Amino acid sequence: MSALKRCLSIAGLLVLGSCNTDRSPTSPFSCVPLTGQYTGAFTDSCGLSRAADVTLFQTGCTVVAEFPGVGSLQGTVQGQTLIFAIGFSGFSPCGGSASGSATVTSQGGLSGAYSGQATGTGATCCGSVSGTFTLTRR
């Protein structure tokens, strides 16, 4: 009976030890929570230089936000990285879009870069565009 109890105890520990360690190719990425209010600083190669308040909304690992004067962002958090696309129309004098990535800073904000096309007739609609931004949690 003692040997049976020992075997059952060892089997139980093995089962408990395997919890939350699914490393299969189909297991979902873990993602940090980014929902919240931020102060943003934006610059790009077309001459944009802007500071604005930004609120990020997150459901699961999907993030959406409006960057005032820049565009509408939608992305996916993968670990400590946000992979995103920005649509310029509606929140900017330009049309077009860009894509990029941002990493979570040690203070819980984001630092990122993007590139794409800013089309239109406005002064900041220069065609090929690349930009950077930082978001600091408020």
Tokens found for residue 69: 């004067």
Residues 88-117: what's their mean pLDDT?
91
CB 117 within 8 A of CB 127: yes
Q: How many CB atoms lie within 10 A of CB 105?
A: 14
| Region 9-13 average pLDDT | 42
pTM above 0.85, yes or no: no
pLDDT for position 120? 87
Whether the per-residue pLDDT at 25 is higher than 60: the answer is no
Domains of the chain: residue spans and CATH? 29-137 (2.40.128)
Task: Kindly report, residue by residue over 46-61, the tens digit of the pLDDT.
Answer: 888 999 999 999 999 9
| Tokens standing for residue 49 | 């230089």
pLDDT at 65: 96
- Is the pLDDT at 10 greater than 90, yes or no? no
